[in-house]
Chain A
Amino acid sequence: MCSRSRTESATALLLVAALLALGSCGGATAPPLPLQEEAQSGDVIDSALNPGVDHSIVSVDPRAAQFYDNPTAVQTGKLLFGQFNCSGCHSNGGGGMGPSLMDDEWIYGDRLEQIHQTIVQGRPNGMPAWGGKIPDQQIWQIAAYVRSMSLPATLAAQNGPTPSQTPAPIPADSAQDNGWSPPDASTNHYTTTTKGPQ
């Protein structure tokens, strides 16, 4: 047993057990449980946990900052994206063997450190882990290009059938995604209506 607290509420106890099951049941240094208020019998418990990936307001990795508002980073990233065969799976952003990167669906998060982490760690459905195989600075640059693909400015610059050829730098406020309503002009609100044959 590694229960650290007891409450009168059976509901809360179940939640505690479930949360502990997610991580290690550590010793004295374990962080406090993310229960925001004392649970009362019959109350709804609001647990600070959000579904999906972390939607923190600010970037948590200070290394990310220099790659925002940085036209060189996205241009260099574009070259590296080809040289490391990223384009082999993701094409010019439209995907193929790997998913599209030019839409606004970010399975593992759209902040630069999240994209960086996806490239470093790989992902279970086929994305290789590039950590240790590409210099870290270059992984950040690739991440910047990947993030740029779905920016409205990048999409607007598409001329012909090949997108992502003039990648726009990433506005710093595009990282301020609170998970509900991305700030205007920082994210591609790509919605599609597919009409049938006319």
Chain B
Amino acid sequence: MRALIPMILALTVTPVATVAQTVPAPVPDNEVFTLDQIGHAISAPTPQAGHTAPSAANAPPDDGQWTMPSKNYASTRFSALTEITPQNAKDLKVDFTFSLAVNKGQEAAPIIADKTLFVVTAYPNYVYALDLTKPGAPLKWKFAPKPLPASQGLACCDVVNRGGTYDRGKYIFTTLDGQVIALDAKAGTAIWRTRLANINNGETITMAPTVANGRVYVGNSGGEMGVRGWIAALDEDSGKLDWKAYNTGPDKEVLIGSEFKPFYAGDRGADLGVRSWPPDAWKIGGGNVWGWITYDAELNALYHGTGNPGPWNADQRPGDNKWTTGIFARDPASGSAHWYYQFSPHDNHDYDGINEQILLDMPFGGAMHKVLIHFDRNGYLYVIDRQSGQVLSADPFGPTNWTRGIDLTTGRPIINPDKETRQGVDVTNICPTASGSKDWNPSSFSPDTGLLYIPHENMCMDKKDVQVSYISGTPYVGAEVHMKPGPGGNRGELTAWDPVARHPVWAVKEMFPIWSGTAVTAGGLVFYGTMDGWFKAVDAKTGALAWRFKVDSGVISQPVSYRGPDGHQYVAVLSGVGGWSGAVVSGPVDPRDGSAALGMVNAMSDLPKYTTAGGTLYVFSLPH
């Protein structure tokens, strides 16, 4: 009885009216440059010189499995399966689902190997193995690595994990608190676990490891915490550290030696990782490796991007801030650097260079070239000769105004001074926004169509830099950011891009930024998910919608396609909205604060109308 009277009082209290955030108006069309104005290449397209495709060494014949997030070393995310087509996709049905028991952003790719489906969740990084030989794919085992709970407070952009990898009987993945763990894929027990990151200085690990050449390649996150970025190679059998290369600091710690031959003069010189910074700033300068590391079996090389420099306030770090916001080619065995190219010298805008690279043989300038294609946060699609590090073409694939193009003689962006940030100045309508024309979520390539399928964003931002102090283990950002939709107002877009002709072929507009990867099939379909919870298949040739299914929560993961033990084609994807763009749903974030989640909430405050947090594995197939 005692409690009754106060409860009645509580019910009669009038709620305080609150101001709901509204999504800001799109940036006007005339604020950005067009592809024709700012796209550049060192020679005209020569499509007649050959067929664009990955080499057999990097994309071996499809065995129907999907053992690594990128499908193959070439990172094509192309499945050779043909059972599901644009004509019959309308008959796709859910085969089974599985609750991940974690309602945070699910960014991982399901992995299929040895008639088993493996998946790792967002923190607390559960790993599940499901038996594909039995009806309903029952659980074989679950592994709970129990990462340190405090690591949750160090993840800049939700407590995500981008997936594990299967190799030689092991499922290898990372944990938010900085461990790399190799599990016995049959037993679900740890073969080894190696702790690489120290959460006390703000380090975490969210990336999917790359396993190749008897090694496991991983890097750290923490670009918003003043964490010095590195990439490490572990022995695949023992977990022991083979080598570790930092992306700032003296050459000997960056593993720059006599083999280092960057294409552009601006990247040559001793200890640029120190000299392109104010004194000691490189020690807390970022350059993290939280995206995709690509192994090139054909040229025996490793390629990886580097993250943003810290802090975001660029006035606190005059200089080019090497080796941040660029790409390294390294020796897989020693880590020794071969070349480097900087996409965004002295980055003003948080344009991490960590997105995927797709390895292709492609006609250019009248001959076939071994290229890597990289879709940078800074808005440009780069085609780079992966032997020399020379940029062959650099074209904007989304609204861009921070540059007037890339100067292909120096390799440097031609800066638009109107969009350079200054401490204390609110610079408006910078395109693309901090999360880029495209973030980490990977593209795919079909050798059948010759097209790249780019899942990306159309967002811009206002940014005001403010002085920030470095306090170990806390954010080191120094910027007030407010994001907004780009021209046209659709915050996301799926673009099919012809890399040889250097132009888009078709595009599908989405209301929200596309934060899922794409996968493409020989059946002629591109699969992707949207943040409002649609899982879609579109015709790879035209972009026409072939099928869609509404899942329980927004999709920000990496779809895959595999051949089941019964011989039929399946498509698998994780739902579970979150990540930087979805933190307003999955995180402890209030939509009334446009500056929340590093300014992302300003552009995403309506997402809670469309989806709720979740986390489920969905597997689809045709009736059979």
Contacts and interface: CB of A to CB of B under 8 A. Distances in A.
Interface of A: 82-85, 88-89, 91-100, 102-103, 124-128, 152, 155-156, 158, 160-164, 178, 180-182, 184, 188-192, 194-197
Contact of B593 (A100, A124, A128): A100
A191 B21 CA distance: 15
Contact of A158 (B468, B473, B592, B596): B592
A85 B594 contact: no
Interface residues of B, number: 51
Nearest to A196: B609
Contact of B609 (A103, A160, A162, A194): A194
B593 A180 contact: no
A97 B153 contact: yes
Closest 9 A/B residue pairs (Cβ): A126-B153, A94-B593, A88-B475, A161-B594, A94-B596, A99-B588, A180-B6, A100-B590, A94-B590
9 contacts: A88-B476, A91-B595, A95-B587, A96-B589, A161-B593, A164-B593, A184-B13, A188-B16, A190-B15
Given A93-B590, A125-B153, 6 more contacts: A89-B475, A95-B588, A126-B150, A178-B6, A189-B16, A196-B609
Contacts, number: 142
Contacts of A196: 609-610
B15 A191 contact: yes
A102 B153 contact: no
Contacts of B609: 194-197
Which of B7, B9, B466 neighbours the largest number of chain A CB atoms within 10 Å of its CB? B9
Contact of B469 (A83, A125, A128): A83
B598 to A, nearest CB: 6
A158 B595 CA distance: 13
B10 interface: yes
B265 interface: no
B590 to A, nearest CB: 4
B113 interface: no
A91 B597 contact: yes
A123 to B, nearest CB: 8
Contact of B6 (A99, A155, A181): A181
Interface in B121-155: 149-155
B602 interface: yes
B583 interface: yes
A91 B593 contact: yes
A51 to B, nearest CB: 12
B593 A92 contact: yes
A91 B598 CA distance: 7
Given A125-B152, A195-B609, A162 B593 contact: yes
B471 interface: yes
A185 B193 CA distance: 53
A100 B588 contact: yes
Contact of A92 (B6, B18, B595): B595
A89 B466 CA distance: 15
A90 to B, nearest CB: 8
